[in-house]
Amino acid sequence: MVGLTHTVKTSGCASKLPVADLARILSSIPLMKDDRLLVGVETSDDALAYDLGDGRVMVQSVDFFPPVADDPYDFGQVAAANALSDLYAMGAEPAVAMNVMCFPSCMELEIMRSILLGAQDKVREAGAVIAGGHTIADSTIKYGLAVTGFTTRDRLWTNRGAHEGDALVITKRLGVGILNTMIKAGMADESVVRKSLDSMKMLNRRAFETACSFTVHAATDITGFSLMGHLNEMAEGAGLSVEIDSAAVPVFEEAIEGARFGMNPQGMYNNRDYLEDKVAFASSVTREMQDVFFDPQTSGPLALAMSDEDAVRFVELFGQPAAVIGHFTARKDVAISVL
């Protein structure tokens, strides 16, 4: 059987529209307002947040993409973990989800079944349920979830609340976009395939639950717009800048090697083009490491802004690969400095 990734041109979150194109369109559309809408599209946050009026907040998101794994069951798991991550990044517990499926009418239906079973098992792991959804016939497979969860007003996290002096923590290694490009090109062995899948299938549930023990000032998850793209949103939202210690950032060493050989997804170049005037790299940061920082991630890490003390304790409790990778500073000429 032909692997699913060989039926599509782009995979996972690397298939997102270029951020510059998306920003141009969204900025031309008037915002819809509602007094109960606490978080909408204006801050480029991970999900919407709607005040239910009793102290609870409903959080909703939708995410779907072409296959990022050759095995249908694995693809379903990755797609579900990726969609659920948006809720964890907002401080919300997932409750219910609905399938979003585009499927070729000429393809074996057992493939669809395996995708749905993979997603169902991952949603069950998150303590939530899937009930229904929507399917259409399409030339290529695309799958994901519309997800709904709940939190409280005092525990709602957004991407714009960082404080000057906050530490920045991320909870997974970076580089899966490059790894997946290597895999699709036949330039990766089974150990690389397993590392990529294990990372993408890992729920951010434990990271969310561990962070709930601390005061989180801002949060997001790192997905298709890359570490640099999502940190730019955090910095802009807070009116601050962020300094990154490149040596502290957890990455897949195989991704560094892949970038050295040009195994970068198109989304990496889109991200770099949009963000190049917002990021300043020290001369010591190699081009390969820069590529990883612009690499579109699928089901990537949470990024958390919290006090130094809380950040150190969080990393101790959560364990590797979580790491403190930088700090928020007063606003500078650029949003992000990488040292």
The Cα-based distances of 139 to 101, 105, 106, 149, 226 in angstroms read 12, 8, 9, 32, 28
Q: Which two tokens stand for residue 118?
A: 């993979």
Best CA proximity match to 295, nearest among 261, 327, 270: 270
b/e code 12-30 from CB counts within 10 Å (16+ = b): bbbbbebbeeeeeeeeeee
Amino acid, res. 328: F
Pairing between strand 241-244 and 93-103?
unpaired
CA distance 56 to 91: 12
The beta strands (E) that lie in the chain are given as 37-39, 48-51, 56-65, 93-103, 129-137, 142-152, 167-170, 218-221, 241-244, 279-281, 302-306, 323-329, 336-338
Q: Give the catalytic positions in this structure.
A: 13
Paired strand residues for 174: 251
Q: From residue 92, how far is each of 4, 87, 334 by CA, in Å? A: 32, 5, 31
Tokens of 102: 């585009």
3-state secondary structure of 263: coil
**SS3 helix, strand, coil % of the chain, rounded to 5?**
40, 25, 35
DSSP 79-107: HHHHHHHHHHTTT-EEEEEEEEEEE-TTS
Peptide bond into 296 cis (omega under 30): no
Structural contact between residues 227 and 293, judged by C-beta atoms closer than 8 angstroms: yes
